[in-house]
Amino acid sequence: MLLAGLAGCLALLCLLSLALGALRVPLGQVADTLLGHPPSRMVDNVVWTVRLPRTWLALATGMGLGLAGMLMQALTRNPLADPGLLGVTAGSSFGVVIAVGLLGFGSLYEYVWFAFAGAAAASVVVYLLGRMGRSGLTPVKLALAGIAITALLNSLTSAIVVLEPDALRRYRYWAAGSLADLPGDVVKNVLPFLAVGAVLALACAPALNSLALGDDVALALGRRVGLIRLQGVLAIMVLVGASVAVIGPVVFLGLIVPQIARVLAQWAGLGPDHRWLLPLSGLLSPILLLAADILGRVIMRPVEIQAGVLIAFIGGPFFIAMVRRRRLAEV
């Protein structure tokens, strides 16, 4: 019932995404256009060429970031963890500035692959560092390795941005996190990666319930803890790498959504079962991303505010409230 309600909310937001913007298109005309009877060539172009790819992109990347956020928190057993903790976001940022600032690539089709490659390389390095030592891969070592690689890559990114003015201009727009002005073919390019990442993430769900009880209990239940973490890291790398490479680092989305999913699951009596929490996160995240994108189009029309900016505006106070709540609970 809960999943059906969220799916209905998402469908409504998709219609609003097709209707609202600098040019308002009534919902009736949107339906006629989708059915092949557009009222005008301009409306047909706006709906099919501009807004429909943008809506699909919000659905796909939002789903990816939501699944990655829940998976990251489950793997590290830290409700304040974010997908960027594995260095994926920092790797994407570094790839973008390398492509734009040092190699001179200016097209999205050129630097998006550098962003994805940077995310993949950073994730691999973090994973290899996290598994070093006698104890192997642990949540604490994984988080510390991610923090170290993120700090290093952010420093290198800042150095290149300072030295290359053109890189600063392009990087600043990408880093804001926007769904605007992206070609429709980009959706087709990232969908295979996001589909593979979603399958890997959802396949981890039963094992994540065992990991939540501790590594020793998971091993006693016959779970291969190292293999589960490797699969989870691969899923996060693919989901976040593909999403961030296209729309930029939408901060706080992977942190907020899993918290809301847990509250809704508890309210619906589903409990902390990741077989429900992962699909809930996969639906809630595009809902929040689409809502922020729609709001950004209409509050200062015709100027648009990037969706990443609005989500950060919401996520900052949300994160502070979460930290305060945890501190009060520990007292």
Let me know if residue 293 belongs to a domain: yes
Q: In which domain, by residue range, is 324 found? A: 58-330
Residue with the larger pLDDT of the pair 109 and 300? 300
* Chain position carrying tokens 């598994």: 131
User: What is the Cα 93 distance to its own chain's centre?
Assistant: 14
Using the 8-state DSSP alphabet, how is residue 101 labeled? I
pLDDT for residue 146:
85
Q: How confident is the model at residue 268 (pLDDT cuts 50, 70, 90)?
A: confident
Q: Is residue 19 part of a domain?
A: no
Model pLDDT, residue 55: 93
Does residue 102 lie in a domain region? Answer: yes
Query: pLDDT band for position 59 (50/70/90)?
Result: very high
In a domain, 316, yes or no: yes
**Domains contained in the chain, number:** 1
The pLDDT score that the predictor gives to residue 279 is 94
Residue-level length of the chain:
331
CATH number at residue 264: 1.10.3470.10
Does 29 map to a domain?
Answer: no
Mean pLDDT calculated for residue range 199-206: 92
Cα angle for residues 197, 34, 244 (degrees, 5° grid): 25
Say if 3 falls within a structural domain: no
Give 131-174 pLDDT, tens digit per residue.
Answer: 787 766 677 787 788 888 999 998 998 888 887 776 677 777 77
Task: Flag whether 246 is in a domain.
Answer: yes
Q: pLDDT, tens digit, for every residue of 205-227?
A: 988 888 887 777 888 877 888 88
Please compute the mean of the pLDDT values over residues 8-32 and round it to a whole number: 91
Per-residue pLDDT of 64-84, as tens digits, reads: 999 999 998 888 887 777 877
Q: Residue 268 falls within a domain, yes or no?
A: yes
Which pairs from 139-144 meet CB under 8 Å and 24+ separation?
A: 139/75, 139/76, 139/77, 139/78, 142/75, 142/76, 142/86, 142/229, 142/233, 143/76, 143/78, 143/81, 143/85
- Out of 239-243, 295-299, 315-319, 321-325, pick the least confident: 321-325
Map tokens 């094992």 to a residue: 207
Residue 317 pLDDT > 50: yes
The Cα 248–Cα 112 span in angstroms is: 10
pLDDT for residue 6: 92
